[in-house]
A and B are shown apart, each in its own frame.
Chain A
């Protein structure tokens, strides 16, 4: 990989706070987070609920704004792009997102083929027959049949719906694909098929992935590098296989020890958690 060139994604000092109630302190969801993603690289985000991983994913996808910090994709600043329809479309073309719930993220009135042709037409990528041909190619890439192209979401299984969501994201040929818990709701065998599909897509193209998951084993399988988030901040980062096997930060160690496996004991996890909280409060006083 050419490391001298500027990475595809450069996020620097991202910050995001939410005002939850009048008079209450804002909740800091993302606290000075910086990262890069090279073309063709897969970056993982791990951490517990509320650690900020989904907010970061949504900022990259343009669904959420950062209060401060900068975010550049292929050299273009995502924060200064205009608000008009054309600017929004340009932003959406660079980065596409796949969500956890394939039931909620597809238009239930559209067939699979229509879902894909709409996405292509919206971005002016294909018209008329071309769109149909494009849809057929996409379906082949995600291993769905021509028969399934005529079905609507309710006629598909969860795994098939997630394939459609991935195909729709690929329809606009994005540089970055953001996956937020995209395989978490799937059975293990279906999950394995989707992970294999992602692997194929990465080998075929130079697409970059931002992969958000609470499942460390899945992150281990999919990503090259990982950021560990706690309370909105990055506490550890590095090559995924190193971070998950030789964690340096106490929070990463806690996260790994909490995952059920041989010798796992819930009381032990609680004791570790308490020790971690205590060490943090000691450090801050």
Chain B
């Protein structure tokens, strides 16, 4: 099991189009290879995304999981060509439906964005313009991409609002964002995202700002829309429950790199990398009676400016040995379609558990 099957990603040579990602297939919708995004700040280079590769197949959901500062959101904005300054994509390929997004000009990129790739962000309040009515904003989205006349656009927007479950959408068309609740605003965002029946939906923490019962509504809506349109989805979240519920494949990010990548069952039931193990052990479980203390990961997530040398997780890792702070492990396939970046993946040594503070 610990045997190295192949070394598909990581390293410079992996950028060549021949190497195949574990989940890549003929109908892969999106293939990201060795993506590197850095932010040049006065205080050093923030290595937000540092050599990340993954792929999404049509109709499937890839969850990118990570804590704050893991680079998971920057990853998504890079796919959309929306890395905010002073961020810069340094290297890599983002192949969407056969085209390298990084080689397209702004015009083409805009056409793809919002047309074939939809996006939903965390905060539905700041994503909507407060001075335009909700309906106007949805019809604008429709007008831009579909080239509909004003009246038709209004018709289509009303239809979209009712698809995403806004009751009395015709009456509420002229309401302003502040008259909508958080959940309703998120529905509006989803309506705009799916207006063009995109092939891929990128949802960045889509329910973090919402209440639990509303979160359930939104997840339910996203799930049914996904089925209806056959959309693929990249779900970016820190919520392990939501990942278990939604994802087909999971990429766990830590300090700008993917540290484990596999099917949702592999990640949850057969984790290889100590960080994934630690994450699973540190969450409180609602479905189980209490069985003693939680086992937290010690320490704090690292800085992306001063990334620990070697394996970025080694300062917090119970299994770390000398090799871990000397060499950065590559993301390698240890099992069928199950990758991990760990020197001891699948063969962990005795833990050296230090006293937890």
A binds B: no
